[in-house]
């Protein structure tokens, strides 16, 4: 078990997401940086559907009741355990009574905005409609369907002894291993969506050529961006239809909103494009106030990007196995 000591708002339990419940109006939720979660689970030998803690307001503090192997991934922050500095993207052994503290995110070239605390065996809350992810609207999943509070105690699942990284093993973060930068800004690839061609040609080119600022009204539900005004050729009224995380809607004001993990599963605003699944983690780590760029892609490009991510994850798994074997033989 671990106990939350800090009053960090908006901290939630997330896994890969809830799939198969759209028909009941239940969106996917899930980690905003699915790649960071996947790496944390790899470091600990967890199954890929294990849940972790997603932290987006710092500092965060928690105490472990028992010995536990933990991994820290996602945003680079000043992290320590019992005052001893720990490296991000690595696993470490926590002793019974250890206090984990995550300070502010570092303002490095890439700083990210969400950190993940993963534990061997995963955070063991009940599976609701196929997932442990917290879905605030409807109050399901996670711990009582809500954000974590000071004093909450979280149980762990059974660690998988078969494949655990050795203490201190670390992963090269995906922001370095799989960079995507345009004119010095982090970028994400976008597939044009149904109403793309209903926007003025200059708006279409602005989508690809102009920077988009992540405004303070951005959260797990959606990123409200500011930049050029995207204008349709004529006003559009759409009927309600299903949407997924990544969809870029353009309401009447012309400022795009990217639907993120907690997005409602249906909508009616015109859609200019969709941030591809393979790049959603990049957006999930874009801090408020930063700017991003969009890159146009097509179906083959989007599939290639997905393949690239899964190849990289396999390579990470292979390297962790090698590191473990080396340690065992030495």
To another protein, the closest distance from the beta carbon of 113 in angstroms equals 22
Residue 260 touching another protein (CB under 8 A): no
What residues numbered 199-238 form the site for another protein, per CB under 8 A?
236-238
Indicate the residue among 203 and 297 with the shorter CB distance to another protein. 297
Among 44, 275, 292, 316, binds another protein (CB under 8 A): 275
Scan for tokens 């303002």, then name that residue: 107
What residues numbered 112-141 form the site for another protein, per CB under 8 A?
128-129, 135, 137-140
**Sign (positive or negative) of CA dihedral 161, 166, 168, 173:** negative
To another protein, the closest distance from the beta carbon of 110 in angstroms equals 24
Span interacting with another protein, options 55-63, 160-168, 206-214, 267-275, rule CB under 8 A: 267-275
Residue 194 touching another protein (CB under 8 A): yes
Residue 253 touching another protein (CB under 8 A): no
Residue 185 touching another protein (CB under 8 A): no
Residue 250 touching another protein (CB under 8 A): no
Among 4, 13, 26, 38, binds another protein (CB under 8 A): 26
Residue 24 touching another protein (CB under 8 A): yes
Among 265, 281, 293, 320, binds another protein (CB under 8 A): 265
255 vs 302: CA distance, rounded Å: 24
Span interacting with another protein, options 92-100, 152-160, 205-213, 243-251, rule CB under 8 A: 243-251
Residue 23 touching another protein (CB under 8 A): yes
Query: What is the 3 state secondary structure string of the chain?
Result: CEEECCCCCCCEEECCCCCCCHHHCCCCCCCCCHHHHHHHHHHHCCCCCCCEEEECCCCEEEEECCCEEEEEEECCEEEEECCEECCCCEEEEECCCCEEEEEEECCCCCCCCCEEEEECCCECCCCECCECCCECCCCECCECCECCCCCCEECECCCCCCCCCCCCCECCCHHHHCCCEECCEEEEEEEECCCHHHECHHHHHHHHHCCEEECCCCCCCEEEEECCCCCECCCCCCCCEECCCCEEECCCCCCCEEECCCCCCEECCCEEEEECHHHHHHHHCCCCCCEEEEEECCHHHHHHHHHHHHHHHHHHHHHHHHHHHHHHHC
Indicate the residue among 86 and 128 with the shorter CB distance to another protein. 128
State the number of binding residues for another protein (CB under 8 A).
Answer: 45
To another protein, the closest distance from the beta carbon of 314 in angstroms equals 16
Residue 38 touching another protein (CB under 8 A): no
Omega before 315 within 30 of 0, i.e. cis: no
Residue 313 touching another protein (CB under 8 A): no
Report the interface residues with another protein, using CB under 8 A: 19-26, 128-129, 135, 137-140, 191-194, 198, 236-247, 264-266, 271, 274-278, 299, 302-303, 306
């Amino acid at each position: 078990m671990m106990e939350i000591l800090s009053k960090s708002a908006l901290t939630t339990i997330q896994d890969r997401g809830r799939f198969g419940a759209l028909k009941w109006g239940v969106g996917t939720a899930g980690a905003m940086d699915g790649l960071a979660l996947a790496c944390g689970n790899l470091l600990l030998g967890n199954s890929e559907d294990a849940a972790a803690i997603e932290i987006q307001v710092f500092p965060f503090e928690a105490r472990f009741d028992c010995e536990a192997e933990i991994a820290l991934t996602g945003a680079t922050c000043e992290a320590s355990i019992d005052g001893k500095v720990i490296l991000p993207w690595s696993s470490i052994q926590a002793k019974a009574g250890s206090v984990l503290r995550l300070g502010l995110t570092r303002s490095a070239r890439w700083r990210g905005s969400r950190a993940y605390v993963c534990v061997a065996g995963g955070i063991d809350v009940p599976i609701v409609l196929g997932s442990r992810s917290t879905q605030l609207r409807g109050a399901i999943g996670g711990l009582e369907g809500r954000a974590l509070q000071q004093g909450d105690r979280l149980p762990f699942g059974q660690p998988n002894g078969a494949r655990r990284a050795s203490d201190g093993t670390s992963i090269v973060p995906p922001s370095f291993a799989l960079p995507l930068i345009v004119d010095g800004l982090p970028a994400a690839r976008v597939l044009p969506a149904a109403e793309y061609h209903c926007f003025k040609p200059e708006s279409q080119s602005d989508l690809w050529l102009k920077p988009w600022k992540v405004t303070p009204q951005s959260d797990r539900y959606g990123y409200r961006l500011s930049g050029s005004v995207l204008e349709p050729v004529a006003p559009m009224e759409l009927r309600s239809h299903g949407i997924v995380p990544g969809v870029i809607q353009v309401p009447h004001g012309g400022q795009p909103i990217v639907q993120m993990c907690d997005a409602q599963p249906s909508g009616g605003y015109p859609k200019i494009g969709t941030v591809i699944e393979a790049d959603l983690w990049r957006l999930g780590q874009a801090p408020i106030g930063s700017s991003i760029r969009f890159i146009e892609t097509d179906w083959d490009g989007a599939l290639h990007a997905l393949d690239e991510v899964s190849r990289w994850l396999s390579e990470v798994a292979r390297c962790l196995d090698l590191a473990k074997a080396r340690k065992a033989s030495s």
